[in-house]
């Protein structure tokens, strides 16, 4: 049984890597054909995070951010680099990281690290990050691996650092599995359960507004 579970886990993560390695390194590829939602998405994220930062009256500094599942750097370019002094990117597919320089432009000089790694294997440097940003990527982690990832991220935060989670959520009681990209869409209650299990606490949560009807609901969480 243990071998079967190991093989299943390998398939789950291996299939995701195959999928993303086949996706073009452009905005439509990053957003599954919904590139038009990017401005609304970024505006919602800016409004959510600013009050938590010292520049907006909060406690969290804006020196170092980490973009998890960064792709070609859409969030790095449009949200994090305008807000933080330095950004690191961690991304499963090397061809996305290779394309990031051209996409981001001259500000790529402030991207200190481009790390090619799946989040299930990623260990952030202790105490490095003011904000760890996780958007539309955590469905690629199994539940137990997500709890472990949260715990590792907690050690990667500065004293007032936060983890921001922005994900799709199903209205059903159980997870939806997408066999195309090998990912889960979780119920919001399950994510909250996994956050609590990891020892993190929720500081703030908010629904993203302005997305087209027919898409999953999207919520943002700040946790610490």
Provide the annotated binding site for S-adenosyl-L-methionine: 69, 74, 119-120, 135
Closest CA to 175 of 162, 194, 152: 194
Instruction: Give alpha helix (H) positions in the chain.
Output: 2-21, 27-30, 38-49, 74-75, 94-104, 143-155, 188-197
Q: What contacts 109, CB < 8 A, 6 or more positions away?
A: none
Contact 219, 208 (CB under 8 A): yes
Q: How many residues appear in the chain? A: 224
- Token readout for 32 is 């599954």
Other CB atoms within a 10 A radius of the CB of residue 3 amount to: 7
The annotation places the binding site at 69, 74, 119-120, 135
- Token readout for 177 is 């599995």
Percent helix / strand / coil, the chain, rounded to 5: 45, 25, 30
């Amino acid at each position: 049984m243990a071998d079967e579970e190991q093989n299943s886990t390998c398939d789950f993560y291996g299939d995701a890597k195959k999928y993303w390695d086949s996706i073009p390194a452009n905005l439509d590829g990053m957003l599954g054909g919904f590139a038009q939602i990017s401005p609304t998405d970024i505006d919602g994220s800016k409004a959510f995070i600013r009050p938590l930062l010292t520049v907006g009256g909060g406690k969290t500094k804006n020196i170092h951010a980490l973009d998890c599942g960064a792709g070609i750097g859409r969030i790095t370019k449009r949200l994090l680099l305008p807000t933080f002094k330095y950004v690191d990117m961690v991304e499963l597919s090397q061809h996305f990281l290779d394309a990031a320089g051209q996409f981001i432009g001259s500000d790529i000089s402030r991207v200190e690290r481009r790390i090619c790694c799946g989040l299930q294997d990623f260990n952030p440097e202790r105490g490095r990050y003011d904000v760890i940003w996780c958007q539309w990527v955590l469905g690629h982690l199994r539940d137990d691996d997500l709890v472990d990832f949260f715990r590792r991220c907690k050690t990667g935060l500065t004293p007032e650092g936060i983890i921001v989670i922005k994900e799709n959520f199903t209205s059903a009681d159980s997870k939806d599995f997408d066999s195309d990209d090998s990912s889960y869409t979780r119920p919001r209650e399950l994510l909250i359960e996994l956050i609590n299990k990891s020892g993190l606490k929720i500081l703030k949560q908010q629904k993203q507004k302005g997305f087209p009807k027919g898409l999953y609901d999207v919520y943002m969480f700040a946790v610490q």
